[in-house]
């Protein structure tokens, strides 16, 4: 029997994405966020997650789309990612959560070098779901340590560089 990986699929700006189910902690209703000044546009704000501060990331903005409008099915997928060797919890805004899908290794193809609107290093691959593909995100890369230094230092917002990582000089 082939080993299958399970992924939670969700919609974002008309595309269907998937994230490893083992990194998903919970799915919560979209609620009021606290905006934090001097953060990149893709950081929608923070929420109080049982007494902890969790940043909420709008991947649509991070991937170059307009800000996601909040609708009836908008939710926040709470994920655990590896930030420089430490486990960190944050939220990903989703237009809607679909389902849990299982893909065998044969159903996952490498990400193409063209055609997707996001950086291919953000993708683990593309899962074949019938006639279409689901983009499988590498959550640790999408929400990587260098790009989320801003998030880690939300409490000390003064003095942080508000520009996205792409605009900063390497080594800063």
At 89-99, the pLDDT tens digits run 999 999 999 99
Q: For 171, left (φ over 0), alpha (ψ -120 to 50), or beta?
A: left
pLDDT of residue 23 exceeding 90, the answer is yes
At 41-51, the pLDDT tens digits run 899 999 999 88
- What are the CA-CA distances from residue 113 to residues 29, 101, 103, 120 (Å)? 35, 24, 21, 7
At 77-128, the pLDDT tens digits run 999 988 777 888 999 999 999 999 999 999 999 887 765 566 778 889 999 9
Question: Which segments of the chain does DSSP mark as H helices, in order?
Answer: 59-62, 139-142, 149-152
The set of residues, in sequence order, having a beta carbon less than 8 Å from that of 162 and lying 6+ positions away, is 38, 39, 40, 150
Mean pLDDT of the chain: 82
| DSSP 3-state of 96 | strand
Name all domains of the chain by residue range, CATH numbers in brackets: 5-152 (2.40.50.180)
Q: For 129, left (φ over 0), alpha (ψ -120 to 50), or beta?
A: beta
């Amino acid at each position: 029997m082939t080993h299958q990986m399970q992924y939670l699929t969700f919609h974002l700006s008309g595309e269907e994405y998937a994230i490893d189910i083992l990194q998903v902690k919970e799915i919560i209703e979209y609620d009021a966020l606290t905006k934090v000044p001097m953060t990149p546009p893709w950081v929608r704000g923070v929420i109080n997650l049982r007494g902890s501060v969790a940043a909420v990331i709008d991947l649509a903005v991070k991937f170059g789309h307009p800000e996601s409008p909040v609708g009836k099915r908008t939710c926040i997928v709470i994920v655990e990612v590896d930030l420089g060797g430490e486990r960190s919890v944050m939220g990903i805004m989703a237009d809607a959560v679909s389902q849990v899908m299982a893909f065998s290794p044969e159903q996952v193809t490498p990400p193409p070098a063209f055609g997707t609107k996001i950086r291919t290093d953000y993708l683990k691959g593309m899962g074949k779901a019938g006639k279409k593909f689901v983009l499988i995100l590498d959550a640790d890369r999408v929400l990587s340590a260098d790009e989320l230094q801003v998030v880690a230092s939300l409490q000390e917002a003064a003095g942080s560089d508000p520009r996205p990582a792409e605009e900063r000089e390497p080594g800063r």
